[in-house]
Protein backbone atom coordinates (compact mmCIF):
# COMPACT_ATOMS: atom_id res chain seq x y z
CA UNK A 1 0.00 0.00 0.00
CA UNK A 2 1.40 3.39 -0.98
CA UNK A 3 0.21 6.96 -0.89
CA UNK A 4 -1.15 6.53 -4.45
CA UNK A 5 -4.03 4.42 -3.18
CA UNK A 6 -4.85 6.55 -0.16
CA UNK A 7 -6.08 9.74 -1.81
CA UNK A 8 -9.57 8.56 -2.87
CA UNK A 9 -10.09 6.95 0.53
CA UNK A 10 -8.84 10.12 2.25
CA UNK A 11 -11.17 12.22 0.13
CA UNK A 12 -14.15 10.09 1.17
CA UNK A 13 -13.13 10.24 4.83
CA UNK A 14 -12.95 14.03 4.86
CA UNK A 15 -16.19 14.37 2.94
CA UNK A 16 -18.01 12.02 5.31
CA UNK A 17 -16.74 13.39 8.61
CA UNK A 18 -15.97 17.07 7.98
CA UNK A 19 -18.18 18.30 5.14
CA UNK A 20 -21.37 18.19 7.27
CA UNK A 21 -19.96 21.14 9.26
CA UNK A 22 -19.64 23.37 6.20
CA UNK A 23 -22.29 25.99 5.51
CA UNK A 24 -24.44 25.54 2.38
CA UNK A 25 -22.88 28.76 1.13
CA UNK A 26 -19.46 27.63 -0.10
CA UNK A 27 -16.47 29.02 1.66
CA UNK A 28 -17.62 29.45 5.25
CA UNK A 29 -17.88 27.54 8.51
CA UNK A 30 -19.92 28.91 11.39
CA UNK A 31 -19.47 27.33 14.80
CA UNK A 32 -21.54 27.27 17.94
CA UNK A 33 -20.02 25.89 21.12
CA UNK A 34 -21.73 22.54 20.61
CA UNK A 35 -20.83 22.43 16.93
CA UNK A 36 -17.18 23.18 17.74
CA UNK A 37 -17.13 20.27 20.20
CA UNK A 38 -18.55 17.87 17.61
CA UNK A 39 -16.17 19.15 14.93
CA UNK A 40 -13.18 18.51 17.21
CA UNK A 41 -14.41 14.95 17.71
CA UNK A 42 -14.72 14.51 13.95
CA UNK A 43 -11.23 15.92 13.39
CA UNK A 44 -9.87 13.51 16.00
CA UNK A 45 -11.50 10.60 14.15
CA UNK A 46 -9.93 11.72 10.87
CA UNK A 47 -6.50 11.99 12.48
CA UNK A 48 -6.73 8.57 14.16
CA UNK A 49 -7.87 6.93 10.94
CA UNK A 50 -4.93 8.40 9.02
CA UNK A 51 -2.58 7.13 11.73
CA UNK A 52 -4.03 3.64 11.28
CA UNK A 53 -3.38 3.85 7.53
CA UNK A 54 0.19 4.96 8.18
CA UNK A 55 0.82 1.97 10.45
CA UNK A 56 -0.67 -0.36 7.83
CA UNK A 57 1.55 1.23 5.20
CA UNK A 58 4.64 0.69 7.38
CA UNK A 59 3.79 -3.00 7.70
CA UNK A 60 3.25 -3.31 3.96
CA UNK A 61 6.56 -1.56 3.29
CA UNK A 62 8.35 -4.69 4.54
CA UNK A 63 7.06 -6.42 1.43
CA UNK A 64 8.43 -5.48 -1.97
CA UNK A 65 5.99 -3.34 -3.90
CA UNK A 66 6.12 -3.09 -7.65
CA UNK A 67 5.03 0.37 -8.68
CA UNK A 68 3.30 0.82 -12.00
CA UNK A 69 3.06 4.02 -13.97
CA UNK A 70 -0.29 5.75 -13.65
CA UNK A 71 -2.27 6.99 -16.59
CA UNK A 72 -2.84 10.70 -17.00
CA UNK A 73 -6.47 10.14 -16.04
CA UNK A 74 -5.49 8.54 -12.73
CA UNK A 75 -2.94 11.26 -12.00
CA UNK A 76 -5.60 13.90 -12.72
CA UNK A 77 -8.09 12.15 -10.43
CA UNK A 78 -5.54 11.92 -7.60
CA UNK A 79 -4.69 15.58 -8.00
CA UNK A 80 -8.37 16.59 -7.79
CA UNK A 81 -8.82 14.44 -4.68
CA UNK A 82 -5.85 16.10 -3.03
CA UNK A 83 -7.11 19.58 -3.94
CA UNK A 84 -10.52 18.87 -2.44
CA UNK A 85 -9.01 17.55 0.80
CA UNK A 86 -6.58 20.43 1.08
CA UNK A 87 -9.23 23.04 0.28
CA UNK A 88 -11.52 21.66 3.00
CA UNK A 89 -8.71 21.64 5.56
CA UNK A 90 -7.57 25.17 4.69
CA UNK A 91 -11.16 26.35 5.04
CA UNK A 92 -11.16 24.96 8.58
CA UNK A 93 -7.97 26.91 9.31
CA UNK A 94 -10.02 30.09 8.83
CA UNK A 95 -12.31 29.13 11.72
CA UNK A 96 -11.90 31.25 14.84
CA UNK A 97 -10.93 28.37 17.11
CA UNK A 98 -7.36 27.58 18.10
CA UNK A 99 -8.35 24.02 18.93
CA UNK A 100 -9.80 23.41 15.48
CA UNK A 101 -6.77 25.03 13.84
CA UNK A 102 -4.37 22.90 15.89
CA UNK A 103 -6.25 19.70 15.01
CA UNK A 104 -6.27 20.60 11.31
CA UNK A 105 -2.51 21.24 11.43
CA UNK A 106 -1.91 17.77 12.89
CA UNK A 107 -4.04 16.22 10.15
CA UNK A 108 -2.15 17.95 7.32
CA UNK A 109 1.21 16.81 8.74
CA UNK A 110 -0.20 13.27 9.05
CA UNK A 111 -1.37 13.42 5.41
CA UNK A 112 2.18 14.41 4.47
CA UNK A 113 3.50 11.32 6.22
CA UNK A 114 0.85 9.17 4.56
CA UNK A 115 1.74 10.39 1.07
CA UNK A 116 5.52 10.28 1.57
CA UNK A 117 5.98 6.89 -0.20
CA UNK A 118 4.51 8.45 -3.34
CA UNK A 119 6.93 11.25 -4.22
CA UNK A 120 4.55 12.50 -6.92
CA UNK A 121 1.61 12.98 -4.56
CA UNK A 122 3.79 14.29 -1.74
CA UNK A 123 5.27 16.80 -4.19
CA UNK A 124 1.74 17.86 -5.13
CA UNK A 125 0.76 18.32 -1.47
CA UNK A 126 3.78 20.48 -0.58
CA UNK A 127 3.50 22.44 -3.81
CA UNK A 128 -0.18 23.12 -3.07
CA UNK A 129 0.57 24.30 0.46
CA UNK A 130 3.22 26.75 -0.73
CA UNK A 131 0.96 28.05 -3.49
CA UNK A 132 -1.94 28.44 -1.06
CA UNK A 133 0.34 30.37 1.28
CA UNK A 134 1.50 32.68 -1.52
CA UNK A 135 -2.06 33.26 -2.71
CA UNK A 136 -3.20 34.16 0.80
CA UNK A 137 -0.29 36.50 1.54
CA UNK A 138 -0.68 38.29 -1.79
CA UNK A 139 -4.42 38.51 -1.26
CA UNK A 140 -4.04 39.97 2.25
CA UNK A 141 -1.49 42.46 0.95
CA UNK A 142 -4.03 43.34 -1.77
CA UNK A 143 -1.39 43.31 -4.44
CA UNK A 144 -2.84 40.69 -6.73
CA UNK A 145 -6.02 38.80 -7.38
CA UNK A 146 -5.83 35.23 -6.21
CA UNK A 147 -6.53 33.74 -9.62
CA UNK A 148 -3.78 35.76 -11.29
CA UNK A 149 -1.25 34.75 -8.65
CA UNK A 150 -2.10 31.12 -9.19
CA UNK A 151 -1.79 31.29 -12.95
CA UNK A 152 1.64 32.89 -12.59
CA UNK A 153 2.74 29.85 -10.63
CA UNK A 154 1.58 27.39 -13.33
CA UNK A 155 -0.52 25.67 -10.72
CA UNK A 156 -3.19 24.62 -13.12
CA UNK A 157 -6.71 25.94 -13.59
CA UNK A 158 -8.60 23.01 -12.07
CA UNK A 159 -6.65 22.90 -8.82
CA UNK A 160 -6.77 26.68 -8.59
CA UNK A 161 -10.55 26.78 -8.97
CA UNK A 162 -10.95 24.34 -6.09
CA UNK A 163 -8.71 26.38 -3.78
CA UNK A 164 -10.17 29.71 -4.91
CA UNK A 165 -13.57 28.73 -3.53
CA UNK A 166 -12.18 28.67 0.02
CA UNK A 167 -9.40 31.24 0.22
CA UNK A 168 -11.61 34.32 0.32
CA UNK A 169 -11.88 34.27 4.14
CA UNK A 170 -8.17 33.55 4.68
CA UNK A 171 -6.10 36.14 6.55
CA UNK A 172 -2.74 36.57 8.32
CA UNK A 173 -3.79 34.01 10.91
CA UNK A 174 -4.49 31.41 8.21
CA UNK A 175 -1.14 32.15 6.58
CA UNK A 176 0.60 31.76 9.96
CA UNK A 177 -0.97 28.33 10.50
CA UNK A 178 0.08 27.16 7.02
CA UNK A 179 3.67 28.24 7.73
CA UNK A 180 3.55 26.33 11.02
CA UNK A 181 2.32 23.24 9.16
CA UNK A 182 5.10 23.56 6.59
CA UNK A 183 7.64 23.98 9.39
CA UNK A 184 6.38 20.81 11.10
CA UNK A 185 6.65 18.92 7.81
CA UNK A 186 10.23 20.18 7.46
CA UNK A 187 11.07 19.03 10.99
CA UNK A 188 9.63 15.59 10.25
CA UNK A 189 11.93 15.34 7.21
CA UNK A 190 14.86 16.07 9.50
CA UNK A 191 13.81 13.30 11.86
CA UNK A 192 13.47 10.86 8.97
CA UNK A 193 16.67 12.11 7.24
CA UNK A 194 14.84 11.96 3.90
CA UNK A 195 17.09 13.87 1.48
CA UNK A 196 14.93 13.13 -1.55
CA UNK A 197 11.81 14.70 -0.08
CA UNK A 198 13.89 17.54 1.35
CA UNK A 199 15.05 18.44 -2.17
CA UNK A 200 11.44 18.37 -3.35
CA UNK A 201 10.48 20.59 -0.43
CA UNK A 202 13.24 23.14 -1.00
CA UNK A 203 12.39 23.71 -4.65
CA UNK A 204 9.13 25.40 -3.59
CA UNK A 205 10.42 27.41 -0.61
CA UNK A 206 12.52 29.95 -2.45
CA UNK A 207 10.04 30.81 -5.21
CA UNK A 208 7.59 31.71 -2.45
CA UNK A 209 10.15 33.91 -0.70
CA UNK A 210 11.04 35.54 -4.02
CA UNK A 211 7.53 36.02 -5.38
CA UNK A 212 5.90 37.70 -2.39
CA UNK A 213 6.22 41.51 -2.63
CA UNK A 214 7.53 41.90 0.91
CA UNK A 215 7.90 45.67 0.66
CA UNK A 216 4.12 45.95 0.82
CA UNK A 217 4.29 44.67 4.38
CA UNK A 218 5.25 48.21 5.44
CA UNK A 219 1.90 49.44 4.16
CA UNK A 220 -0.11 46.84 6.04
CA UNK A 221 -1.73 48.42 9.10
CA UNK A 222 -3.25 45.28 10.64
CA UNK A 223 -0.97 44.79 13.62
CA UNK A 224 -1.78 41.79 15.82
CA UNK A 225 -2.52 39.18 13.08
CA UNK A 226 0.54 40.33 11.14
CA UNK A 227 2.68 39.89 14.27
CA UNK A 228 1.55 36.25 14.52
CA UNK A 229 2.42 35.71 10.87
CA UNK A 230 5.88 37.27 11.28
CA UNK A 231 6.58 35.14 14.34
CA UNK A 232 5.70 31.99 12.38
CA UNK A 233 7.77 33.15 9.39
CA UNK A 234 10.91 33.77 11.46
CA UNK A 235 10.54 30.43 13.28
CA UNK A 236 10.25 28.72 9.89
CA UNK A 237 13.34 30.48 8.52
CA UNK A 238 15.33 29.40 11.59
CA UNK A 239 14.31 25.78 10.99
CA UNK A 240 15.03 26.09 7.26
CA UNK A 241 18.58 27.34 7.82
CA UNK A 242 19.22 24.69 10.47
CA UNK A 243 17.91 21.94 8.20
CA UNK A 244 19.74 22.96 5.03
CA UNK A 245 23.10 21.83 6.38
CA UNK A 246 23.36 18.90 8.77
CA UNK A 247 25.48 19.53 11.89
CA UNK A 248 27.96 16.83 10.93
CA UNK A 249 28.41 18.25 7.44
CA UNK A 250 31.21 20.68 6.60
CA UNK A 251 29.51 21.79 3.40
CA UNK A 252 28.62 25.46 3.53
CA UNK A 253 25.06 26.54 2.89
CA UNK A 254 26.07 28.42 -0.25
CA UNK A 255 27.63 25.28 -1.73
CA UNK A 256 24.54 23.19 -1.09
CA UNK A 257 21.76 25.72 -1.51
CA UNK A 258 22.51 28.76 -3.73
CA UNK A 259 19.04 30.22 -3.08
CA UNK A 260 19.67 30.90 0.59
CA UNK A 261 20.89 34.50 -0.02
CA UNK A 262 17.17 35.18 -0.52
CA UNK A 263 16.84 34.66 3.25
CA UNK A 264 19.81 36.95 3.93
CA UNK A 265 18.19 39.71 1.88
CA UNK A 266 15.06 39.43 4.03
CA UNK A 267 16.95 40.02 7.27
CA UNK A 268 16.93 43.86 7.38
CA UNK A 269 13.21 43.88 6.55
CA UNK A 270 12.46 41.37 9.30
CA UNK A 271 14.28 43.56 11.83
CA UNK A 272 12.29 46.59 10.70
CA UNK A 273 8.92 44.83 10.81
CA UNK A 274 9.47 42.94 14.05
CA UNK A 275 11.46 45.35 16.19
CA UNK A 276 10.65 48.65 14.48
CA UNK A 277 10.60 51.99 16.18
CA UNK A 278 10.21 52.16 19.94
CA UNK A 279 6.80 53.82 19.77
CA UNK A 280 5.43 51.13 17.45
CA UNK A 281 6.85 48.09 19.19
CA UNK A 282 4.78 45.07 20.14
CA UNK A 283 4.21 43.97 23.72
CA UNK A 284 7.23 42.94 25.78
CA UNK A 285 6.85 39.15 25.53
CA UNK A 286 6.47 39.31 21.74
CA UNK A 287 9.41 41.68 21.46
CA UNK A 288 11.54 39.23 23.46
CA UNK A 289 10.48 36.38 21.17
CA UNK A 290 11.38 38.38 18.05
CA UNK A 291 14.73 39.36 19.57
CA UNK A 292 15.59 35.73 20.37
CA UNK A 293 14.52 34.38 16.97
CA UNK A 294 16.17 37.11 14.88
CA UNK A 295 19.50 36.70 16.67
CA UNK A 296 19.17 32.92 16.33
CA UNK A 297 18.54 33.30 12.60
CA UNK A 298 21.64 35.45 12.10
CA UNK A 299 23.80 33.10 14.18
CA UNK A 300 22.64 30.09 12.16
CA UNK A 301 23.29 31.92 8.91
CA UNK A 302 26.71 32.92 10.24
CA UNK A 303 27.70 29.39 11.18
CA UNK A 304 26.21 27.91 8.02
CA UNK A 305 27.75 30.27 5.51
CA UNK A 306 31.11 30.68 7.24
CA UNK A 307 33.62 32.55 5.11
CA UNK A 308 31.16 32.78 2.20
CA UNK A 309 29.28 35.67 3.79
CA UNK A 310 30.21 38.89 2.00
CA UNK A 311 31.79 41.83 3.80
CA UNK A 312 28.79 43.93 2.81
CA UNK A 313 26.46 41.51 4.59
CA UNK A 314 28.66 41.40 7.70
CA UNK A 315 28.84 45.20 7.87
CA UNK A 316 25.04 45.41 7.52
CA UNK A 317 24.62 42.90 10.36
CA UNK A 318 26.93 44.94 12.57
CA UNK A 319 24.82 47.99 11.83
CA UNK A 320 21.66 46.09 12.77
CA UNK A 321 23.29 45.08 16.05
CA UNK A 322 24.20 48.70 16.77
CA UNK A 323 20.75 49.96 15.79
CA UNK A 324 18.70 47.43 17.76
CA UNK A 325 20.96 45.84 20.39
CA UNK A 326 23.54 48.47 21.31
CA UNK A 327 22.32 48.35 24.92
CA UNK A 328 22.92 44.59 25.08
CA UNK A 329 26.38 44.90 23.51
CA UNK A 330 27.48 47.54 26.01
CA UNK A 331 25.67 46.19 29.07
CA UNK A 332 28.27 45.47 31.82
CA UNK A 333 29.00 41.78 32.23
CA UNK A 334 30.36 42.13 35.77
CA UNK A 335 26.83 42.02 37.14
CA UNK A 336 26.51 38.32 36.34
CA UNK A 337 27.48 37.05 39.77
CA UNK A 338 24.66 35.24 41.54
CA UNK A 339 23.43 33.25 38.52
CA UNK A 340 19.94 34.54 39.21
CA UNK A 341 18.93 33.69 35.69
CA UNK A 342 19.36 30.00 36.43
CA UNK A 343 17.69 29.71 39.84
CA UNK A 344 14.91 27.22 40.38
CA UNK A 345 11.40 28.52 40.77
CA UNK A 346 10.93 29.70 44.33
CA UNK A 347 14.65 30.19 44.92
CA UNK A 348 15.46 32.83 47.57
CA UNK A 349 17.85 34.38 45.03
CA UNK A 350 14.80 35.52 43.08
CA UNK A 351 12.67 36.47 46.07
CA UNK A 352 13.36 40.16 45.55
CA UNK A 353 12.13 40.03 41.94
CA UNK A 354 8.62 39.81 40.62
CA UNK A 355 7.87 37.02 38.14
CA UNK A 356 7.94 39.50 35.28
CA UNK A 357 11.24 41.00 36.39
CA UNK A 358 12.85 37.56 36.76
CA UNK A 359 11.66 36.50 33.30
CA UNK A 360 12.94 39.75 31.79
CA UNK A 361 16.32 39.19 33.48
CA UNK A 362 16.63 35.68 32.05
CA UNK A 363 15.71 36.85 28.56
CA UNK A 364 18.01 39.86 28.76
CA UNK A 365 21.02 37.70 29.64
CA UNK A 366 20.19 35.17 26.92
CA UNK A 367 19.84 37.91 24.30
CA UNK A 368 23.06 39.54 25.49
CA UNK A 369 24.90 36.25 24.97
CA UNK A 370 23.47 35.89 21.48
CA UNK A 371 24.17 39.51 20.50
CA UNK A 372 27.78 39.53 21.74
CA UNK A 373 28.59 36.20 20.09
CA UNK A 374 27.16 37.43 16.78
CA UNK A 375 29.02 40.74 17.15
CA UNK A 376 32.35 38.96 17.73
CA UNK A 377 31.77 36.61 14.81
CA UNK A 378 31.04 39.54 12.48
CA UNK A 379 34.08 41.51 13.65
CA UNK A 380 36.56 38.65 13.36
CA UNK A 381 35.10 37.54 10.02
CA UNK A 382 35.66 41.08 8.70
CA UNK A 383 39.16 41.22 10.15
CA UNK A 384 40.08 37.99 8.39
CA UNK A 385 38.43 39.02 5.09
CA UNK A 386 40.42 39.77 1.95
CA UNK A 387 39.75 41.09 -1.52
CA UNK A 388 36.70 43.27 -0.85
CA UNK A 389 36.82 47.08 -0.50
CA UNK A 390 40.59 47.30 -0.77
CA UNK A 391 40.92 50.83 0.64
CA UNK A 392 42.48 50.71 4.07
CA UNK A 393 42.35 52.76 7.23
CA UNK A 394 44.03 56.12 6.51
CA UNK A 395 47.62 56.34 7.68
CA UNK A 396 46.80 59.42 9.79
CA UNK A 397 44.80 57.23 12.19
CA UNK A 398 47.54 55.76 14.37
CA UNK A 399 45.04 54.85 17.10
CA UNK A 400 41.60 53.37 16.64
CA UNK A 401 40.36 55.52 19.52
CA UNK A 402 40.52 58.47 17.12
CA UNK A 403 38.21 56.82 14.57
CA UNK A 404 34.46 57.25 14.51
CA UNK A 405 32.16 54.34 13.75
CA UNK A 406 31.72 54.83 10.04
CA UNK A 407 29.92 53.62 6.96
CA UNK A 408 32.42 55.57 4.85
CA UNK A 409 33.33 53.64 1.67
CA UNK A 410 36.96 54.65 2.28
CA UNK A 411 37.09 52.08 5.03
CA UNK A 412 37.51 48.42 4.21
CA UNK A 413 35.47 45.69 5.83
CA UNK A 414 38.65 44.63 7.61
CA UNK A 415 39.07 48.09 9.12
CA UNK A 416 35.41 48.14 10.15
CA UNK A 417 35.94 44.92 12.09
CA UNK A 418 38.97 46.38 13.91
CA UNK A 419 37.18 49.66 14.69
CA UNK A 420 34.00 48.10 16.09
CA UNK A 421 35.92 45.56 18.15
CA UNK A 422 38.20 48.24 19.58
CA UNK A 423 35.30 50.48 20.53
CA UNK A 424 33.51 47.56 22.17
CA UNK A 425 36.58 46.87 24.32
CA UNK A 426 36.85 50.56 25.06
CA UNK A 427 33.26 50.71 26.31
CA UNK A 428 33.68 47.71 28.62
CA UNK A 429 37.11 48.68 29.96
CA UNK A 430 36.74 52.45 30.04
CA UNK A 431 37.84 52.77 33.66
CA UNK A 432 41.29 51.40 32.96
CA UNK A 433 41.52 52.05 29.23
CA UNK A 434 44.77 53.75 28.30
CA UNK A 435 46.25 54.24 24.87
CA UNK A 436 48.79 51.64 23.81
CA UNK A 437 49.78 48.76 26.07
CA UNK A 438 49.76 50.45 29.43
CA UNK A 439 46.42 48.94 30.33
CA UNK A 440 46.69 46.62 33.31
CA UNK A 441 46.68 42.95 32.31
CA UNK A 442 44.82 42.00 35.49
CA UNK A 443 41.87 44.14 34.33
CA UNK A 444 41.78 42.07 31.16
CA UNK A 445 41.70 38.89 33.22
CA UNK A 446 38.80 40.19 35.31
CA UNK A 447 36.97 41.13 32.12
CA UNK A 448 37.63 37.66 30.69
CA UNK A 449 36.20 36.03 33.83
CA UNK A 450 33.04 38.13 33.65
CA UNK A 451 32.77 37.36 29.94
CA UNK A 452 33.06 33.62 30.59
CA UNK A 453 30.57 33.73 33.48
CA UNK A 454 28.04 35.34 31.18
CA UNK A 455 28.08 32.21 28.99
CA UNK A 456 28.75 29.56 31.62
CA UNK A 457 25.09 28.78 32.28
CA UNK A 458 24.08 28.36 28.63
CA UNK A 459 26.12 25.39 27.46
CA UNK A 460 25.47 25.48 23.71
CA UNK A 461 26.54 29.13 23.44
CA UNK A 462 29.43 28.55 25.87
CA UNK A 463 31.32 26.21 23.55
CA UNK A 464 30.48 28.31 20.52
CA UNK A 465 32.07 31.35 22.11
CA UNK A 466 35.09 29.38 23.39
CA UNK A 467 35.72 28.02 19.90
CA UNK A 468 35.25 31.52 18.48
CA UNK A 469 37.97 32.85 20.76
CA UNK A 470 40.39 30.10 19.69
CA UNK A 471 39.72 31.02 16.07
CA UNK A 472 39.99 34.75 16.80
CA UNK A 473 43.40 34.41 18.42
CA UNK A 474 44.93 32.56 15.45
CA UNK A 475 43.16 34.94 13.05
CA UNK A 476 44.76 38.01 14.63
CA UNK A 477 48.19 36.39 14.73
CA UNK A 478 48.02 35.79 10.98
CA UNK A 479 46.68 39.27 10.25
CA UNK A 480 49.42 41.04 12.22
CA UNK A 481 52.28 39.05 10.69
CA UNK A 482 54.20 40.26 7.68
CA UNK A 483 55.05 43.74 6.45
CA UNK A 484 54.09 46.54 8.82
CA UNK A 485 51.31 48.79 7.49
CA UNK A 486 50.79 52.51 8.27
CA UNK A 487 47.90 51.63 10.58
CA UNK A 488 49.60 48.57 12.11
CA UNK A 489 50.06 50.26 15.50
CA UNK A 490 46.30 50.67 15.79
CA UNK A 491 45.65 47.06 14.84
CA UNK A 492 48.26 45.89 17.33
CA UNK A 493 46.16 47.58 20.04
CA UNK A 494 43.43 45.08 19.22
CA UNK A 495 45.95 42.24 19.16
CA UNK A 496 47.10 43.20 22.65
CA UNK A 497 43.54 43.42 23.95
CA UNK A 498 42.48 40.07 22.50
CA UNK A 499 45.69 38.31 23.53
CA UNK A 500 45.09 39.33 27.15
CA UNK A 501 41.31 39.44 27.50
CA UNK A 502 40.57 36.51 25.20
CA UNK A 503 43.75 34.50 25.41
CA UNK A 504 42.71 30.88 24.67
CA UNK A 505 45.07 29.66 27.40
CA UNK A 506 43.68 32.09 29.97
CA UNK A 507 40.09 31.33 28.99
CA UNK A 508 40.76 27.60 29.27
CA UNK A 509 42.13 27.97 32.79
CA UNK A 510 39.26 30.24 33.76
CA UNK A 511 36.84 27.71 32.29
CA UNK A 512 38.33 24.91 34.39
CA UNK A 513 38.32 27.19 37.42
CA UNK A 514 34.63 27.94 37.00
CA UNK A 515 34.02 24.17 36.84
CA UNK A 516 36.03 23.82 40.08
CA UNK A 517 38.35 21.50 38.13
CA UNK A 518 35.67 18.81 38.27
CA UNK A 519 36.55 16.23 35.59
CA UNK A 520 33.10 14.70 35.92
CA UNK A 521 31.54 17.87 34.50
CA UNK A 522 33.85 17.66 31.48
CA UNK A 523 32.85 14.03 30.98
CA UNK A 524 29.19 15.03 31.11
CA UNK A 525 29.86 17.60 28.41
CA UNK A 526 31.69 15.07 26.24
CA UNK A 527 28.99 12.40 26.39
CA UNK A 528 26.19 14.92 25.88
CA UNK A 529 24.24 14.35 22.67
CA UNK A 530 23.94 18.08 22.04
CA UNK A 531 27.31 19.33 23.31
CA UNK A 532 29.70 16.40 22.90
CA UNK A 533 31.01 17.33 19.46
CA UNK A 534 31.53 21.01 20.35
CA UNK A 535 33.24 20.16 23.64
CA UNK A 536 35.53 17.60 22.00
CA UNK A 537 36.43 20.05 19.23
CA UNK A 538 37.28 22.74 21.77
CA UNK A 539 39.44 20.44 23.90
CA UNK A 540 41.27 19.06 20.86
CA UNK A 541 41.97 22.51 19.46
CA UNK A 542 43.22 23.64 22.85
CA UNK A 543 45.52 20.63 23.22
CA UNK A 544 46.74 20.34 19.64
CA UNK A 545 46.03 23.88 18.36
Q: Please check the confidence at residue 168 and state whether its pLDDT lies above 80.
A: no
Please tell me the distance from the alpha carbon of residue 398 to that of residue 473, in angstroms, as a whole number. Answer: 22
Q: Please check the confidence at residue 248 and state whether its pLDDT lies above 50.
A: no
Taking residue 540's Cβ as centre, other Cβ atoms within 10 Å add up to 10
Position 426 scores a pLDDT of 83
Most confident of 63-77, 180-194, 243-257, 496-510: 180-194
Mean pLDDT of 494-502: 75
Q: Which residues of 521-537 are buried (b: 16+ CB within 10 A; e: fewer)?
A: eeeebeeeeebeebbee
Question: In angstroms, what CA-CA distances link 336 with 326, 368, 430, 441, 450?
Answer: 18, 11, 19, 21, 7
Chain-centre distance for alpha carbon 518: 35
Nearest-10 Cα torsion for 235, 237, 239, 244: 180
For 20-39, write each residue's pLDDT tens digit.
888 765 556 788 899 999 99
Position 35 scores a pLDDT of 92
Q: Please check the confidence at residue 373 and state whether its pLDDT lies above 80.
A: yes
Q: Please check the confidence at residue 468 and state whether its pLDDT lies above 80.
A: yes
Higher pLDDT, 4 or 13: 13
Place 367 in a pLDDT band, splitting at 50, 70 and 90: very high
Most confident of 192-196, 220-224, 295-299, 396-400: 295-299
Position 278 scores a pLDDT of 57
pTM (2 decimals)?
Answer: 0.85
Q: Please check the confidence at residue 491 and state whether its pLDDT lies above 70.
A: no
Higher pLDDT, 167 or 372: 372
* % of the chain residues with pLDDT over 90: 38
- Among 81-85, 255-259, 326-330, the minimum mean pLDDT is found in 255-259
Q: Biggest alpha carbon distance in the chain?
A: 83
- Among 45-59, 442-456, 464-478, the minimum mean pLDDT is found in 464-478
Calculate ∠ Cα 224-227-232, nearest 5°. Answer: 135
Position 173 scores a pLDDT of 92
Nearest-10 Cα torsion for 360, 363, 369, 371: -90
For 52-70, write each residue's pLDDT tens digit.
999 988 776 654 444 445 6
Q: Please check the confidence at residue 402 and state whether its pLDDT lies above 50.
A: no
- Among 111-120, 186-195, 244-253, the minimum mean pLDDT is found in 244-253
Chain-centre distance for alpha carbon 305: 14
Higher pLDDT, 114 or 284: 114
Please tell me the distance from the alpha carbon of residue 298 to that of residue 221, in angstroms, as a whole number. Answer: 27
Most confident of 1-10, 163-172, 243-252: 163-172
Q: Please check the confidence at residue 353 and state whether its pLDDT lies above 50.
A: no
Mean pLDDT of 234-251: 71
Position 223 scores a pLDDT of 73
Please tell me the distance from the alpha carbon of residue 355 to that of residue 281, in angstroms, as a whole number. Answer: 22
| Average predicted confidence (pLDDT) for the chain | 78
Position 525 scores a pLDDT of 93
Element (H, E) at 501: helix 488-501
Higher pLDDT, 538 or 407: 538
Position 403 scores a pLDDT of 47
Which of the 8 DSSP states describes residue 71?
A: P
Position 393 scores a pLDDT of 42
Q: Please check the confidence at residue 406 and state whether its pLDDT lies above 60.
A: no
Q: Please check the confidence at residue 526 and state whether its pLDDT lies above 80.
A: yes
Mean pLDDT of 144-158: 46
Mean pLDDT of 196-221: 87
Position 78 scores a pLDDT of 82
Higher pLDDT, 436 or 454: 454
* % of the chain residues with pLDDT over 70: 70
Mean pLDDT of 287-300: 94
For 77-93, write each residue's pLDDT tens digit.
788 888 889 989 998 99
Q: CB within 8 A of 22, min separation 6: which ones?
A: 28, 29, 88, 91
Position 26 scores a pLDDT of 53
Position 199 scores a pLDDT of 86
Mean pLDDT of 446-475: 88
Q: Please check the confidence at residue 441 and state whether its pLDDT lies above 90.
A: no
Place 493 in a pLDDT band, splitting at 50, 70 and 90: low
Mean pLDDT of 356-375: 81
Amino acid sequence: MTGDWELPRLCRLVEELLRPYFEPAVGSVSLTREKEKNLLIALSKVYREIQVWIREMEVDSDEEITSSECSLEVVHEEHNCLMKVLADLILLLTVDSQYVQHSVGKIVVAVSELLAPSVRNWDSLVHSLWISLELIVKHVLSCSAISNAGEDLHFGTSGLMVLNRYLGNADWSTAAHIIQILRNILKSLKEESDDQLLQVYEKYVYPFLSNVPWDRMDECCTKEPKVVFLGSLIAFLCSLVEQTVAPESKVHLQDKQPNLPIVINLVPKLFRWCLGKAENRVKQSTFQYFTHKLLMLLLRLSYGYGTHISCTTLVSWLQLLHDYFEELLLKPMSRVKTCQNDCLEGSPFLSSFSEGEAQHMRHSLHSQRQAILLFLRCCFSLISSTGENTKQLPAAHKSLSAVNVVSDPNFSGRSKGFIDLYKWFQAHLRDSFLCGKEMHVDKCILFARSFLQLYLHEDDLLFKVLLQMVTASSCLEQQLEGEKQPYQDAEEDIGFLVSNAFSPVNLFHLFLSELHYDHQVLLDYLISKDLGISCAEYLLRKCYG
